[in-house]
Amino acid sequence: MKQYGAEFFGTFWLVLGGCGSAVISAAFPEVGIGLLGVACAFGLTVLTMAFAIGHISGCHLNPAISIGLWVGGRFPANKLAPYIAAQVLGGIVAGGVLYLIASGKAGFDVSAGFASNGYGEHSPGGYSLLSALVSEVVMTMMFLLVIFGATDPRAPQGFAPIAIGLCLTLIHLISIPVTNTSVNPARSTATAIFVGDWALGQLWLFWVAPILGAVIGAYVYRFLGKEDAA
């Protein structure tokens, strides 16, 4: 239960910190943090939580990561469903807290997006479904490669949270204009349920693509990271 609780609060922090920066701070008059700030915020949530709860639950914070780690032989199947449930629930609760905060400002309109992920007319840069699919698959694949490599016993010890947090920052710098960056079904669900309508209609992509990318990343690292026989 401690592991599930850690995943709940870790994902809560990821959504509140990352999506909160996008909803509240990105375009704040005159001192908005912009795309760079939002990207850094997502990376910082993972970096801080990796140090805080990595020794408790592994700090997955993401159903795609949990599935990828399972495929890669790093995570037991019997914990997969409870981990995913804890992550999704933590994200939704954070979405609710963010909604309560953001709705306290006059003129707040959740239908404007609420940091939800989308494609086509709901892509920040107007990118197509195919572009969104490719972006989410490739970004999640690379994320898993970094996670597997940074946490490999042969890698320098103690630096994994930094590498993983910076990787997520880089992913956001690349793909925010394409999909608002998901690579995480729990993060996407957390905001989509408050927007409803188009956000829920497009949510399927942000489950399918990250999970597919995670599985590909797991298999790629199983090949690359396998030690050759003496």
Q: What is the mean pLDDT of residues 137-156?
A: 94
pLDDT recorded at residue 29 = 65
Q: Confirm whether 125 is domain-assigned.
A: yes
pLDDT recorded at residue 5 = 96
Residue 129 has pLDDT above 90, yes or no: yes
Q: Which of 55-69, 100-114, 136-150, 168-182 has the lowest mean pLDDT?
A: 100-114
pLDDT recorded at residue 229 = 52
The CA-atom distances, in angstroms, between 93 and each of 103, 137, 180, 199 are 15, 26, 20, 17
The domain total for the chain is 1
Residue 53 has pLDDT above 70, yes or no: yes
| Domain span at 218 | 1-225
Q: Confirm whether 123 is domain-assigned.
A: yes
The CA-atom distances, in angstroms, between 182 and each of 28, 107, 165, 207 are 22, 26, 15, 9
Residue 225 has pLDDT above 80, yes or no: no
**Could you report the per-residue pLDDT of 157-189, keeping only the tens digit for each?**
889 999 999 999 999 999 999 999 999 999 999
pLDDT recorded at residue 156 = 87
pLDDT recorded at residue 33 = 81
Judge whether 80 and 70 are in contact, CB under 8 Å. Answer: yes
| Higher local confidence (pLDDT), 228 or 46 | 46
pLDDT recorded at residue 25 = 86
CATH number at residue 40: 1.20.1080.10
Q: Confirm whether 9 is domain-assigned.
A: yes
Q: Give this prediction's pTM.
A: 0.91
Q: In whole numbers, what is the pLDDT of the chain averaged over residues?
A: 92
Residue 226 has pLDDT above 80, yes or no: no
pLDDT recorded at residue 228 = 59
Q: Confirm whether 230 is domain-assigned.
A: no
pLDDT recorded at residue 110 = 87
Q: What is the mean pLDDT of residues 120-149?
A: 96
Residue 230 has pLDDT above 60, yes or no: no
Residue 35 has pLDDT above 80, yes or no: yes
